[in-house]
Structure 1
Amino acid sequence: MYRSLIIVAAVLASTSPARAEPEVLDVDPAQDWVHAPTGVRLPARNNDLARDRITSFLAGENNIGTSYFSPDDSEILSIYVYRSGSYDVSMMADAAIAAMSTNDQLGSIAADSAIFSTFGDAAVGQASGVAATFSVVGDYRSTGLALFRTGNWLVKIRLSSKRTDAETLDRRLRMLAAGLPVDPPGRTAPPAYRIAECERFSLRGEVARRKLAMADWIIATAVVSLSYDETAEDEVQGVIAPQDTPRLCRDRQSRPGRMFYRDAESGDPRTIVFGDSGTVSQVGETAISLEEATSPPVVLSIGNGMRTEFYAGFESTPGFAQMIRTLEDGVVQASVARTDDGSEITLNTTE
Structure 2
Amino acid sequence: MRKILFLPSFFLILGYAEASAQPTDISSEPDQTWVHQHTGTGFPARLGGFDRSRIRDLTEDQLDIVVSYKDADQKDVLTLYLYRPAINDVPLWFETARQSLMVGGFAQFAPELVTETVFTPPGQLSTAGMVVSYSLTGSESKSTAIAMAPLNRWLLKVRYTSAKYDAQSLADEIPKIVSAVETGDIIEQAPEALAVKPCAKKLKLKSKVKRFRPSLVDALIGGAITSTAEEEKSDPDKPAETVTYCRDPGEYGRWTVFRANESKNSYILPLGDSGRALSVYRNTLSGAISGDNRRRYTPVHMKLGQQDIFTDINVLPVPETLVAVINQGAIISSSTTWPDEGSTITIDSGLATDE
TM-score higher than 0.5:
yes
Q: Deviations over 1:125-166 (max 9, x none)?
A: 622222111111121111111112223312111111111111
CA–CA distance in structure 1, aligned partners of residues 122 and 30 of structure 2: 33
CA–CA distance in structure 1, aligned partners of residues 204 and 283 of structure 2: 23
Match in the other structure for 1:272: 269
CA–CA distance in structure 2, aligned partners of residues 214 and 186 of structure 1: 40
CA–CA distance in structure 2, aligned partners of residues 330 and 186 of structure 1: 40
Q: Residue 51 of structure 1 aligns to which amino acid in structure 2?
A: R
Any idea what SS the aligned residue of 1:291 has?
A: helix
CA–CA distance in structure 1, aligned partners of residues 217 and 185 of structure 2: 36
Match in the other structure for 2:230: none
Match in the other structure for 2:120: 120
Match in the other structure for 2:326: 327
Match in the other structure for 2:7: 9
Q: Residue 142 of structure 1 aligns to which amino acid in structure 2?
A: S
1:46 is aligned to 2:19: no
Match in the other structure for 1:132: 132
Match in the other structure for 1:224: 226
Whether the aligned pair in 2 keeps the contact of 1:288 and 1:296 (CA below 8 Å) is no
CA–CA distance in structure 1, aligned partners of residues 96 and 22 of structure 2: 23
Any idea what SS the aligned residue of 1:55 has?
A: strand
Superposition pairs of residues 244-323 of structure 1, within 5 angstroms: 244-255=242-253, 258-263=255-260, 265-285=262-282, 288-289=285-286, 291=288, 298-314=297-313, 317-323=316-322
For structure 2, list consecutive stretches of 5 or more residues without a partner in the other structure. 228-235
CA–CA distance in structure 2, aligned partners of residues 255 and 50 of structure 1: 39
CA–CA distance in structure 2, aligned partners of residues 128 and 327 of structure 1: 33
Report the CA distance shift for 1:181/1:290 in structure 2 as closer, same or farther (over 3 A).
farther
Match in the other structure for 1:79: 80
TM-score of the pair, normalised by structure 1: 0.82
Whether the aligned pair in 2 keeps the contact of 1:219 and 1:287 (CA below 8 Å) is no
Whether the aligned pair in 2 keeps the contact of 1:5 and 1:345 (CA below 8 Å) is yes
Residue 188 of structure 1: how far off its partner (Å): 3.2
Mean Cα deviation higher: 209-218 or 37-46 = 209-218
Report the CA distance shift for 1:254/1:290 in structure 2 as closer, same or farther (over 3 A).
closer
Residue 299 of structure 1: how far off its partner (Å): 1.5
Report the CA distance shift for 1:96/1:255 in structure 2 as closer, same or farther (over 3 A).
farther
Mean Cα deviation higher: 291-300 or 126-135 = 291-300
CA–CA distance in structure 2, aligned partners of residues 76 and 107 of structure 1: 18
Q: Deviations over 1:81-103 (max 9, x none)?
A: 11222222211111111222244
Match in the other structure for 1:94: 95
CA–CA distance in structure 1, aligned partners of residues 86 and 275 of structure 2: 6
Mean Cα deviation higher: 191-200 or 74-83 = 191-200
Whether the aligned pair in 2 keeps the contact of 1:220 and 1:287 (CA below 8 Å) is no
Whether the aligned pair in 2 keeps the contact of 1:109 and 1:134 (CA below 8 Å) is no
Q: Residue 66 of structure 1 aligns to which amino acid in structure 2?
A: V
Whether the aligned pair in 1 keeps the contact of 2:202 and 2:248 (CA below 8 Å) is no
CA–CA distance in structure 2, aligned partners of residues 132 and 242 of structure 1: 30
Whether the aligned pair in 2 keeps the contact of 1:56 and 1:63 (CA below 8 Å) is yes
Superposition pairs of residues 16-55 of structure 1, within 5 angstroms: 16=14, 17-55=18-56
Match in the other structure for 2:231: none
Match in the other structure for 2:233: none
Match in the other structure for 1:172: 173
CA–CA distance in structure 2, aligned partners of residues 189 and 169 of structure 1: 25
Report the CA distance shift for 1:278/1:121 in structure 2 as closer, same or farther (over 3 A).
closer
Whether the aligned pair in 2 keeps the contact of 1:106 and 1:136 (CA below 8 Å) is no
Any idea what SS the aligned residue of 1:139 has?
A: coil
TM-score of the pair, normalised by structure 2: 0.81
Whether the aligned pair in 1 keeps the contact of 2:79 and 2:159 (CA below 8 Å) is yes
Residue 309 of structure 1: how far off its partner (Å): 1.1
CA–CA distance in structure 2, aligned partners of residues 125 and 296 of structure 1: 43
Q: Residue 167 of structure 2 aligns to which amino acid in structure 1?
A: A
CA–CA distance in structure 1, aligned partners of residues 21 and 118 of structure 2: 33
Any idea what SS the aligned residue of 2:100 has?
A: helix
Whether the aligned pair in 1 keeps the contact of 2:310 and 2:332 (CA below 8 Å) is yes
Q: Deviations over 1:54-101 (max 9, x none)?
A: 001001211111111110123211111112222222111111112222
Residue 35 of structure 1: how far off its partner (Å): 0.9
Residue 199 of structure 1: how far off its partner (Å): 5.2
CA–CA distance in structure 2, aligned partners of residues 296 and 185 of structure 1: 45
CA–CA distance in structure 2, aligned partners of residues 242 and 75 of structure 1: 44
Q: Residue 5 of structure 1 aligns to which amino acid in structure 2?
A: K
CA–CA distance in structure 1, aligned partners of residues 165 and 308 of structure 2: 44
Q: Residue 277 of structure 1 aligns to which amino acid in structure 2?
A: S
Whether the aligned pair in 2 keeps the contact of 1:51 and 1:67 (CA below 8 Å) is yes
